[in-house]
Amino acid sequence: ELLTGGDVDSTNDIAPGTGAVLRHGLTKVAVYKDPQGQTHTCSAICPHLGCVVHWNDLETSWDCPCHGSRFDAYGHLLNGPANSDLAEVNA
């Protein structure tokens, strides 16, 4: 999954109030577009063991499919086993 493209090609493809993973160069970036249309970015790589997080529309969160870590829309840790937020990125 680290080598594939993102969920969408551009932030223009993300509806307000939702998130998606985009490829930015060699990295995957988690992009949340708030209800006002402002984008917020963080690394899409879970700090626990390096899996790519997925957007959860129902709970407005980033969820790691590998071991269940969860992060809020802005990348702040909600539940482990990860012990830190998603890393900041400048995308």
Q: Percentage helix, strand, coil, to 5, in the chain? A: 5, 35, 60
Architecture of the CATH domain 11-79:
3-layer Sandwich (2.102)
Overall average pLDDT of the 5-24 stretch: 86
The answer to whether residue 84 scores a pLDDT higher than 80 is yes
Overall average pLDDT of the 37-52 stretch: 95
The answer to whether residue 10 scores a pLDDT higher than 70 is yes
Q: The whole model's pTM is what?
A: 0.86
Res 24: pLDDT? 82
CB 38 within 8 A of CB 79: no
